[in-house]
């Protein structure tokens, strides 16, 4: 009787856990910031709401890199305020709080990127936590915003480069690298949770460890340096233990990047490099203040392909940068044709508040920017279609992302080693048998177009 009455008493006095709504805007690095905030809140007993109206407070993680991104962030803040009324703002745009306060003076709190403690503190103030230590359990890998089978892993914060069009160092500060052991520990927890693809991100991935002079840390009884190659090698070994992939993003083409190509050829990490070239014309690159030597990059790409013929290179470019001449643009197109990059995205230049490039002379008229963008994309589509056609007839390992996509009978969507989520193409798959999301299967490629591959499970 005593036990029953105690249980009844506990149940009757139980309170509903406070609920948080969340909007995460911007890049993969910001997504990792959002995951860290959510993990801390979940550990303190908060629940998460799928809508604004059901939440007790809403957090908006903003992007402030481009003016268009700022407008999107302001729109999200306004929508959250209209539907909920209690809004906490964080992220890159939070570094300029006056812009937010001018339009939305009623927001509860504004903090800049990576200021996790202040965000959590603001949530505490708005809705105090109701912690039940025996009920509010957090998985070892933390709260993730990506599907269960892949995750982003951020290895550093900030950036030491001072590109004229970029304000990231003003928003996120200089490079701060994480200890290698911390990164590997997080990677191990993610793999153990079922993650099959780890996407390595930072603002300048190949600069990892420079700020700490490649300091060593203890990992599994050994010393490992905070160095790009050492980390890639260790992550590759860890991934092999779990039958998983490691993919590298935002890799500036410093000379030491050459050292990781043999790791790709040996199957330790995916033969995939995401290198943000941004342009090819030496004159424009100088105006952009881009790091790394681009003069011999075509020779290096050819060498990479000799060492690892399967390597896929993706990049992003900007057309219409201030003072970009027709000759500069044609130089870039010719470079693109010679480089034969596999995956390429292209941005139309736009001014960013506080960026040095705003003050450069001879801004390119918008109609010319649009013409160049279309011409660039047409050129790259031809290259992409040609390179993807070479995959026809091959059998590739494919990570399944989605089952039964609309309009496809016995169909699945996945990605091969050359396809990063959200930014690259897909593999459209047919299978007579059951295929589980999050598994890696063998697919015979039967056809290709400018962006995607099509095949059947072997």
Angle between helix 116-126 and helix 28-43 axes, rounded to 10 deg: 50
pLDDT for 15 beyond 80 = no
- Give the pLDDT score at 38: 87
327 vs 324: CA distance, rounded Å: 8
Strands 440-448 vs 453-457: parallel, antiparallel or unpaired: antiparallel
**Residue of higher predicted confidence among 287 and 405:** 287
CA 346-399-153 angle, 5° bins = 65
| 360-376 average pLDDT score | 96
CA 43-188-200 angle, 5° bins = 95
24 vs 60: CA distance, rounded Å: 6
Could you list the beta-strand ranges (E) of 105-178: 109-110, 150-154, 156-157, 176-177
The CA-atom distances, in angstroms, between 39 and each of 116, 276, 334 are 11, 30, 47
| 371-392 average pLDDT score | 95
pLDDT for 7 beyond 70 = no
- pLDDT (tens digit per residue) in 105-140: 999 999 888 777 888 888 988 888 875 544 555 555
- Give the pLDDT score at 276: 93
**Residue of higher predicted confidence among 294 and 454:** 454
Whole-prediction pTM value? 0.77
- Sequence-distant (6+) residues with CB within 8 A of 367 are none
Fold of 395-457: OB fold (Dihydrolipoamide Acetyltransferase, E2P) (2.40.50)
What's the pLDDT band for 4 if we cut at 50, 70, 90? very low
Q: Highest mean pLDDT range out of 254-268, 292-306, 349-363?
A: 254-268
257 vs 283: CA distance, rounded Å: 24
- C-beta of residue 238 within 8 angstroms of C-beta of residue 287: no
- pLDDT (tens digit per residue) in 437-451: 899 999 999 999 989
Fold of 15-126: Rossmann fold (3.40.50)
- pLDDT (tens digit per residue) in 171-199: 888 999 999 999 999 999 999 888 999 99
**Percentage of the residues of the chain whose pLDDT score is greater than 70:** 91
- C-beta of residue 231 within 8 angstroms of C-beta of residue 180: yes
Q: By mean pLDDT, which of 299-308, 357-366, 397-406 is the weakest?
A: 397-406
- C-beta of residue 31 within 8 angstroms of C-beta of residue 69: no
Phi, psi angles (nearest 5°) of residue 38: -65, -40
| 42-70 average pLDDT score | 85
- pLDDT (tens digit per residue) in 195-249: 999 999 999 999 999 999 999 999 998 999 999 999 999 999 999 999 999 999 9
Q: By mean pLDDT, which of 58-67, 255-264, 387-396 is the weakest?
A: 58-67
| 43-52 average pLDDT score | 84
- Give the pLDDT score at 10: 34
What's the pLDDT band for 12 if we cut at 50, 70, 90? very low
What's the pLDDT band for 5 if we cut at 50, 70, 90? very low
Extract the tokens encoding 381: 């589509």
pLDDT for 433 beyond 90 = no
Mean pLDDT of the chain: 88
What's the pLDDT band for 1 if we cut at 50, 70, 90? very low
- Give the pLDDT score at 29: 78
Sheet-wide strand order for 19-24? 47-49, 19-24, 57-62, 87-91, 109-110
Helix (H) or strand (E) holding 387: helix 366-389
The CA-atom distances, in angstroms, between 258 and each of 180, 205, 222 are 20, 14, 25
216 vs 360: CA distance, rounded Å: 42
pLDDT for 405 beyond 70 = no
As assigned by CATH, the class of the 150-389 domain is alpha beta
| 326-335 average pLDDT score | 96
Q: By mean pLDDT, which of 141-155, 197-211, 247-261, 302-316 is the weakest?
A: 141-155
What's the pLDDT band for 411 if we cut at 50, 70, 90? confident
pLDDT for 141 beyond 90 = no
- Give the pLDDT score at 131: 54
**Residue of higher predicted confidence among 47 and 245:** 245
Please report, for the chain, the start and end positions of each structural domain, with discontinuous segments joined by +.
15-126, 150-389, 395-457
- Give the pLDDT score at 9: 33
Helix (H) or strand (E) holding 200: strand 197-201
Q: Which of 97, 96, 104, 92 is nearest to 64 (CA)?
A: 92
**Percentage of the residues of the chain whose pLDDT score is greater than 90:** 62
- Give the pLDDT score at 137: 54
pLDDT for 404 beyond 80 = no
């Amino acid at each position: 009787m005593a036990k029953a009455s105690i249980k009844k008493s506990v149940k009757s006095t139980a309170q509903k856990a406070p609920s948080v709504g969340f909007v995460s805007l911007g890049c993969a690095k910001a997504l990792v910031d959002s995951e860290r905030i959510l993990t801390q809140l979940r550990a303190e007993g908060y629940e998460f709401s799928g809508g604004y109206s059901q939440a007790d407070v809403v957090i908006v993680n903003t992007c402030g890199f481009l003016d268009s991104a700022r407008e999107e962030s302001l729109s999200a803040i306004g929508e959250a305020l209209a539907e909920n009324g209690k809004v906490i703002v964080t992220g890159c745009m939070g570094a300029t709080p006056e812009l937010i306060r001018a339009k939305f003076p009623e927001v509860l709190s504004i903090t800049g990127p990576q200021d996790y403690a202040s965000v959590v503190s603001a949530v505490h103030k708005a809705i105090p936590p109701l912690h039940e230590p025996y009920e509010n359990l957090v998985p070892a890998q933390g709260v993730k915003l990506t599907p269960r089978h892949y995750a982003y892993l951020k290895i550093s914060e900030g950036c030491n480069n001072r590109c004229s069009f970029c304000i990231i160092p003003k928003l996120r500060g200089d490079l701060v690298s994480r200890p290698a052991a911390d990164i590997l520990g997080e990677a191990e927890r993610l793999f153990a949770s079922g993650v099959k693809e780890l996407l390595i991100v930072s603002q300048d991935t190949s600069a990892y460890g420079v700020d700490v002079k490649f300091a060593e840390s203890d990992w599994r009884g050994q010393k490992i340096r905070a160095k790009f190659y050492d980390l890639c090698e260790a992550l590759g070994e860890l991934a092999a233990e779990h039958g998983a992939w490691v993919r590298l993003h935002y890799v500036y083409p410093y000379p030491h990047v050459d050292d990781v190509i043999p790791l790709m050829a040996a199957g330790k990490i995916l033969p995939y490099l995401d290198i943000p070239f941004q342009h090819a014309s030496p004159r424009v690159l100088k105006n952009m203040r881009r790091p790394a030597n681009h003069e011999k990059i075509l020779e290096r790409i050819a060498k990479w392909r000799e060492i690892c013929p399967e390597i896929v290179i993706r990049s992003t470019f900007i057309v219409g940068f201030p003072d970009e001449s027709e000759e500069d643009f044609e130089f870039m197109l010719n470079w693109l044709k010679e480089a034969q990059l596999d995956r390429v995205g292209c941005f139309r230049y736009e001014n960013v508040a506080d960026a040095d490039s705003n003050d450069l002379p001879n801004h390119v008229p918008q109609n010319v920017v649009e013409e160049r963008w279309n011409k660039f994309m047409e050129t790259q589509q031809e290259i992409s279609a040609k390179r993807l056609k070479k995959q026809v007839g091959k059998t590739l390992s494919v990570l399944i992302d989605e089952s039964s996509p609309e309009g496809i009978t016995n169909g699945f969507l996945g990605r091969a080693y050359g396809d990063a989520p959200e930014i690259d193409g897909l593999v459209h798959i047919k299978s007579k048998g059951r295929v589980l999301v999050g598994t890696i299967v063998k697919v015979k490629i039967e056809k290709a177009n400018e962006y995607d591959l099509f095949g059947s499970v072997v």
